Amino acid sequence: MANKHSEGHRIGIGGWLRAAVLGANDGVVSIASLVVGVAAADASSAAILTAGLAGLVGGALSMAVGEYVSVSSQRDVEEADLERERRELRDKPDRELAELTALLRAKGLTAETARVAARELTAHDALAAHAAEELGLQLDGLARPLQAASVSALAFALGASLPLLAIGISPVATRSWITAAATLIALAGLGAWSGRLGGAPVPRAILRVVVGGALAMGLTAALGGLFGGLIG
C-alpha cells in the first residue's frame, strides 16, 4: 500500500483556526471595550462585572449561532453541488469522463495521459475526482457547522474571561488601565499564535489585532466618559 501524504501543510486547519481566532479576538476586544466603557462612566464594580458577564454569555451564544448559520449555508451549497455531480455521474458517465479529461488536460497533461488519468481516477473514486477538479472540494474537508459554532463560542468565552477577570481584581483607580494593558498583551499573544499557526508573518499579525483592540477600547472609553458625564 502507498504511504499517505505526510507533509505538514496548514491548509487543513483553516476552518477551525478561523473560527478560533475570530472568536477569541472578538471575545477579548468586545468585553474589554464593554467593561472599559462602563468603567469610564464611573459605574460600580458590580455594574461593570454584570455588564461584562452578560456580554460574555450573549456574545458567546451569538458567535455560536452566527457561525452555525453561516457555515451551514456553506455546507448546504457544497452538498447541493456534490449531489448534482452524483446525478451527472450516474446519468451521464461518458460526458463526465470527457469533462474530467478536459480538466486534466487544462492542467498541462497530454491528451493520452489525461485520458488514462481520468479513467483511473473515475475507477478509484469518481465523485472525489470531480469534486476536487471541478468544484475545488475535498470530500473530507467540507464545512463543519457544529465544529465552527462550538469553537467560536468557546474561544469567545475564553477570550472574554481575561478582561473580565482583569477589571474584577484591579483597584478602582487603575482598573481601566490594567484591563487595557492586559487586553493588549492578550491580543499580542493571540496575534502571534494565529500568525505562527497559520504560517503568516508574526509581527504583522500582532500589529493588526493590537491596533484594532486599542482603537476599540479607546473609542468606547471616550463614549463611556462622555455619556457618563451627561447622565451624571
User: Residue 119 carries which side chain, given as an amino acid letter?
Assistant: R
Residue-averaged pLDDT of the chain: 86
Stated pTM of the model = 0.75
Domain ranges of the chain: 14-231
The cell numbers describing 75, all together, are: 455546507
User: Residue 226 carries which side chain, given as an amino acid letter?
Assistant: L
- Which tens digits make up the pLDDT trace of 156-197? 999 999 999 999 999 988 998 999 999 999 999 888 877 777
Distances in Å between the Cα of 67 and the Cα atoms of 20, 152, 213 are 11, 7, 22
- Which tens digits make up the pLDDT trace of 20-60? 777 888 899 999 999 999 988 888 889 999 999 999 999 99
Q: Which among 51, 36, 21 has a CA at the least distance from the CA of 180?
A: 36
Q: Which among 35, 29, 40, 69 has a CA at the least distance from the CA of 54?
A: 35
- Can you give the length of the chain in residues? 232
Calculate mean pLDDT across residues 108-131. Answer: 91
What's the CA angle centered on 56, arms 157 and 54, to 5 degrees? 155
- Which tens digits make up the pLDDT trace of 58-89? 999 998 999 899 989 999 999 999 999 999 99
